Amino acid sequence: MKDNNVSGRYAQALYLLTQKHAAKDGQPLVPVLERTLEDLKGLAELVQPGSKAGAFLTNPQVSPAEKRRVLELGLKGRAMRTVEVFGDLLLRKKRLNLTAQIARDFETLVERAQGLQRAQVVSAVPLTQPELDRLHGELERTTGKKITITTLVDPTLLGGAYVRIGDRIVDRSVTTLLQAIAHKLFEVSV
C-alpha cells in the first residue's frame, strides 16, 4: 500500500508538471496529457524488470552517472521533455521500479481530465454484450460521466454482480443479498 501512495504522489507531480508546461506553451491540456501518458507507458516498458535496460539501470555495479547518460540517450527525441526529466528523477530517487504503477495512476488522472471514469464490473458469469451495453448506459446516466467498463468473473458470487466506480460500490450479488436476508431473519428471531 505504501508504494501505491508513493506512485500516486509521483503521478500527481507529473500531472501538475504537464499541466504547467501545457499552460506555459498555450497548448490544450488533454492532448498533452495523452502524449505524456503514451511516453510514460513507453518508459515503463523500457525499464520493466527483466528487460535489458531495466537490468542495466538497476545494476549496482554501474555508476549513477552512466545510468543517467544511458537513460537520457534512450529517451532523447523519443519522449516529451517532461517525461525525460521525470525518468531521470525516478532514476535518481531509485523509483524506476514504480514506473508501471505510476503510469497506471497517471492514466487515472488523464481519464479524469477527459471526463472519463472507470467502472469495474464483477459478475458470477460473463456478461453478454447487450447486458454490458445496458449497464454502460445506466452507469453513464446515473453518474453523468463517460464510463469505461472493465469486467471480471468471480464464480464465488453465485449470481448477480457488483460494480465499483471509484470508491463507490453497487452490490447486487446473490451472495450479498443472501447475507442480507440471513441478517434480517436473525434480527427477527432474536
The structure's pTM equals: 0.71
pLDDT digits (tens, 9 = 90+) for 147-177: 888 899 988 877 778 888 877 887 777 777 7
pLDDT digits (tens, 9 = 90+) for 55-113: 898 888 999 999 999 899 888 888 999 999 999 999 999 999 999 999 999 998 998 88
> Exposed, middle or buried by CB within 10 Å (0-12, 13-18, 19+), for 28?
exposed
Report angle CA 115, 5, 61 to the nearest 5 degrees. Answer: 120
CA distance 64 to 57: 9
Question: Going from the N-terminus, what domains does the chain have, and what CATH number goes with each?
Answer: 2-112 (1.10.520.20), 117-189 (no CATH)
CB 42 within 8 A of CB 79: yes
